[in-house]
A and B are shown apart, each in its own frame.
Chain A
Amino acid sequence: EDQVTQSPEALRLQEGESSSLNCSYTVSGLRGLFWYRQDPGKGPEFLFTLYSAGEEKEKERLKATLTKKESFLHITAPKPEDSATYLCAVQATGNKLIFGAGTRLAVHP
């Protein structure tokens, strides 16, 4: 069964304390892996697409990487405005999109 698991469920960081969020997946025929940011009470905002193992994408303090089994979202020197829920989604064969439950990130000054 296709599955996407994100860890940890919640993460608390001090401002400037770098860390990583994990998205592990088991799908048949990966077509793409997607990261989104969701602020409370809002819709998700698209961040990155990764297509193949070894690929990396960067945006400001965020860097997403992909292996054959998982993706990491690295947050370097985070600021309080990076606080949000980060969602991972995997597109499998047949275009079905499977979302993980997300990681709630809180960055404190």
Chain B
Amino acid sequence: DGGITQSPKYLFRKEGQNVTLSCEQNLNHDAMYWYRQDPGQGLRLIYYSQIVNDFQKGDIAEGYSVSREKKESFPLTVTSAQKNPTAFYLCASSIAAANTGELFFGEGSRLTVL
């Protein structure tokens, strides 16, 4: 079955640590995205990539980094510079960047800072 796989589902981080969230898709989609979801707020875009080896900052990129070395993979690193990283992180993809409204989402990764 085609889809998006995020791992891990739950992750705990100590202060000062970097953590990496995995996102893999087998939908052959060109565009991939990382969103952050906090209670009572709409999804906020962290980073997006329209093509391999290229990515752009979203609205809240500070304290995060990404890479897009393969079409199928778009990992997100939450660095120690992110001051409030506890949140639910969602990876998504779309057929092409022009179809940015019709997104396929993964199951999410919940990050908690201890």
Contact = CB atoms under 8 A, between A and B. Distances in A.
Interface of A is mostly: strand
B90 A95 contact: no
B108 A46 contact: no
Interface residues of A, number: 23
Given A41-B108, A43-B90, A44-B90, A32 B42 contact: no
Nearest to A50: B101
Interface of B: 4, 6, 40-45, 90, 92, 97-98, 100-108, 110
Contact of B101 (A34, A100, A102): A34
Contact of B102 (A41, A42, A49, A102): A49
Of the listed residues A31, A32, A44, A102, the one surrounded by the most CB atoms of chain B closer than 10 A to its CB is A44
Contacts of A102: 42
A97 B46 CA distance: 12
A49 B102 CA distance: 8
Given A43-B106, A43-B107, A44-B90, A101 B41 contact: yes
Interface of A: 4, 9, 31-34, 41-46, 49, 87, 89, 91, 95, 97-102
A41 B106 CA distance: 11
B108 A43 contact: yes
A49 B100 CA distance: 11
A44 B105 contact: yes
Contacts of A41: 107-108, 110
A102 B40 CA distance: 8
Contacts of B110: 41
B97 to A, nearest CB: 7
